[in-house]
């Protein structure tokens, strides 16, 4: 069985439950560290390769604390010129298009947790301002003169060697020293392969729950998945992508050694001597998102079921003029799950509808939610509909 590290119910009755799955020595140590650090307010630096679960660790740390709000920001996903606006907000009239005063992530995370993912990609010019918030809790909005204050716990994550970034002048040592109050290293999957069966079981349970299915995995297939996991690109995230794809294209609700996804992946990694899997779908990931952003993407069927998800991938492959098998491998190679694609498709659909000033009730109907919940859906997806 997996060992659960989870939060107790909060005072307001809200319950958050995050599970760190695994019984290996490396994962047991990780869970013990989380349990010790979570109740404190110290800054935490989480390190590890891509796909190891750094954000999951951050959310677990938050869930086990008394803090309510969790505000994430991926520093590598924002253009350099907009990072300070995202972090600190701006005042009305500070730049063209600033029609209202808008709070930044630090304000939104007041008395909560701010999670700065990919902190190693933060612009060097922004770093001293973040250090000031850490030291004094003080900052100014873009275009503002008044000092504002926020008390937020800071959790950061990176897959970069920050000491090397410091040596090359891309990261400030004083900020590194302030962030590294506690450093948590998340191990790569190849260093705790004994946890793979537990992870696979958890991923299938989640998949079945979301899709109303009952997909199981054959013991022989588990052995092959462990072989793949030793060299998989993307660690735990890559494993989840593999299992979801295998489940979607399973026969008779059973993932067997003959499963098309598993066989294709094994064949490719054998041919590539366990390098990152090659695929004939040779395109930048941006091309995939461009297809999802077009108006015609609205016609992609709503993937509410296993069959719907399979149809979603099949239609997407047609839009890309690609082989379905190559699309599956492309997703695995780029650490994308079908759930990631569906989330991105929903964001693109909403943005398309907002661009045409579509009434909120119609937007809610298109994405299948109660209109009363639309604001919270926008917030969860990071959509600013103001």
Per-residue pLDDT tens for 27-83? 999 999 999 999 999 999 999 999 999 999 999 999 999 998 999 999 988 888 889
For residue 20, being part of any structural domain is answered with no
Please check the confidence at residue 261 and state whether its pLDDT lies above 50. Answer: yes
Same domain, yes or no: 95 and 119: yes
Residues 142 and 234 in one domain: no
pTM: 0.70
| SS3 category, 137 | coil
Domain limits for position 162: 25-187
Dihedral of CA atoms 267, 273, 118, 210 in degrees, nearest 10, equals 20
Looking at 155, 187, 219, the residue that finishes a domain is 187
Sequence-ordered list of residues with C-beta below 8 angstroms from that of 266, at least 6 positions apart, any chain:
224, 227, 228
Structure tokens at 45: 């630096």
Q: At what angle do helices 306-319 and 324-333 cross, to 10 degrees?
A: 100
Looking at residue 178, the DSSP 8-state letter turns out to be: H
Dihedral sign from CA coordinates of 258, 261, 264, 269 = negative
364-379 pLDDT per residue, tens? 887 777 888 888 778 7
Task: Verify that 303 and 244 share a domain, yes or no.
Answer: no
The mean predicted confidence, pLDDT, of the chain is: 81
Question: Looking at per-residue confidence, does 230 or 153 come out higher?
Answer: 153
Shared domain for 166 and 33, answered yes or no, is: yes
> Strand locations in the chain, DSSP E?
44-47, 70-74, 89-90, 102-103, 113-117, 138-139, 148-149, 153-158, 182-185, 216-217, 254-255
Closest CA to 329 of 294, 280, 274: 280
Residue 118 tokens read as 């990919």
pLDDT the model gives residue 275 = 41
């Amino acid at each position: 069985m997996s060992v659960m590290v989870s939060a107790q119910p909060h005072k307001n009755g809200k319950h958050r439950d995050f599970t760190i799955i695994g019984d290996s020595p490396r994962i047991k140590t990780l869970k013990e560290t989380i349990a010790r650090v979570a109740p404190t307010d110290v800054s935490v630096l989480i390190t590890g390769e891509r796909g190891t679960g750094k954000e999951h660790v951050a959310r677990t740390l938050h869930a086990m604390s008394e803090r309510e709000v969790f505000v994430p920001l991926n520093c590598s996903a924002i253009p350099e010129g907009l990072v300070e606006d995202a972090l600190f907000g701006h005042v009305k009239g500070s730049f063209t298009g600033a029609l209202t005063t808008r709070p930044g992530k630090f304000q939104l995370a007041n008395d909560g947790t701010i999670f700065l993912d990919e902190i190693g990609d933060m612009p060097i010019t922004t770093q001293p301002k973040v250090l000031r918030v850490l030291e004094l809790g003080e900052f100014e909005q873009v275009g503002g003169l008044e000092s504002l204050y926020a008390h937020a716990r800071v959790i950061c994550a990176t897959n970069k060697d920050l000491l090397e970034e410091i040596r090359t002048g891309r990261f400030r040592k004083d900020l590194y020293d302030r962030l590294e109050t506690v450093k948590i290293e998340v191990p790569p999957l190849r260093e705790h392969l004994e946890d793979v069966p537990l992870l696979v079981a958890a991923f299938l349970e989640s998949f079945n729950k979301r899709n109303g299915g009952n997909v199981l995995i054959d013991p022989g297939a588990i052995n092959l998945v462990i072989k793949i996991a030793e060299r998989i690109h993307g660690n735990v995230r890559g494993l989840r992508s593999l299992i979801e794809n295998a489940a979607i294209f399973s026969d008779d609700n059973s993932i067997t050694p003959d499963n098309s996804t598993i066989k294709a992946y094994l064949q490719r990694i054998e041919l590539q001597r366990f390098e990152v899997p090659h695929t004939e779908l040779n395109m930048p990931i941006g091309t995939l998102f461009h297809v999802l952003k077009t108006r015609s993407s609205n016609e992609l069927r709503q993937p509410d079921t296993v069959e719907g998800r399979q149809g979603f991938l099949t239609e997407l492959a047609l839009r890309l003029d690609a082989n379905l098998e190559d699309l599956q491998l492309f997703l695995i190679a780029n650490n994308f799950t079908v759930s990631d694609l569906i989330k991105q498709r929903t964001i693109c659909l909403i943005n398309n509808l907002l661009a045409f000033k579509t009434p909120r009730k119609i937007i809610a109907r298109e994405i299948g939610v109660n209109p009363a919940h639309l604001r919270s859906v926008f917030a969860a997806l990071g959509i600013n509909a103001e």
